Amino acid sequence: MAENNLLRSPCVRIAASLVSEREAEPLTKDRYIESLIAALFSSRHTYRVFLEISHRNDISNNFRIFFRKKARDEKNHELLSILDLNDTGYKIQDAIALAKKSGTLRKSIKLTRCLRQVAKSDKPVLAISYAYLLEFSALGRKQEFFDAVKNLFGNRFTGIRTFSVHSSLGLDEKHFSELDRFLCACDPKQKSTVVDGLFLFGDILYE
């Protein structure tokens, strides 16, 4: 992975610590359901927002191209979460109620609302920080996570499509490396803007 000292900021180091703490906690069925709801909300908005930003004329061409690519990466991922939720046996309204009770839904709404506000602002490139943090966080899901899911739902459980993609074993390893290399090639002003975004979204994601 390319070195990028500026983006190895305290915000990202804190993110790494929180991911480690989260994965160290025992996984429960409720926590897994909540994670699927959060992933559903994120995927539903990320594709649309990134595609919208890619059509703006007030950002540099390299960011337009990259936002278009990120939008393609996220397309239809919300369907994975819907299929996984169906496999758990939970009704969607029960899953949403669970996420609401735990605060996961509130945080997901707050994150996606911030993402949409950023997309319409005069600094839409801040949105790349959202992808950076989420993909960085996803790298905390390793084989042990999937083993724990199987222990909860059984060895024949197939509702792991979402995190088979969004994990260190899935596409997010490749996506994060691509994003990191892209940001390494940006000019200092662009990097500074991305760091601002890391703190903006990090404050919500890890509040």
Q: 119, 49 in Cβ contact below 8 A?
A: yes
- Tokens describing residue 19: 């991911």
- Range 55-70 average pLDDT: 91
pLDDT in tens, 137-192: 888 788 999 999 999 999 999 999 999 988 888 777 788 888 888 887 888 888 88
DSSP state of 27: P
- Tokens describing residue 202: 């990090």
Q: 196, 125 in Cβ contact below 8 A?
A: no
DSSP codes, 93-148: HHHHHHHHHHTHHHHHHHHHHHHHHHHTSS-GGGHHHHHHHHHHHHTT--HHHHHH
> To the nearest 5 percent, what fractions of the chain are helix, strand and coil?
75, 0, 25
Q: How many residues does the chain have?
A: 207
Closest CA to 170 of 143, 147, 132: 143
* Position 56, amino acid: R
Cα separation, 67 vs 119, in Å, equals 11
Q: What is the pLDDT of residue 110?
A: 94
Q: What is the pLDDT of residue 9?
A: 47
Cα separation, 14 vs 70, in Å, equals 24
For residue 141, count CB atoms less than 10 angstroms from its CB and return exposed for 0-12, middle for 13-18, buried for 19 or more. Answer: buried
Cα separation, 32 vs 108, in Å, equals 15
Taking all residues of the chain, what is their mean pLDDT, rounded to a whole number?
Answer: 85
- Range 120-137 average pLDDT: 89
How many other C-beta atoms can be found within 10 angstroms of the C-beta atom of residue 30? 15
Q: What is the pLDDT of residue 184?
A: 78
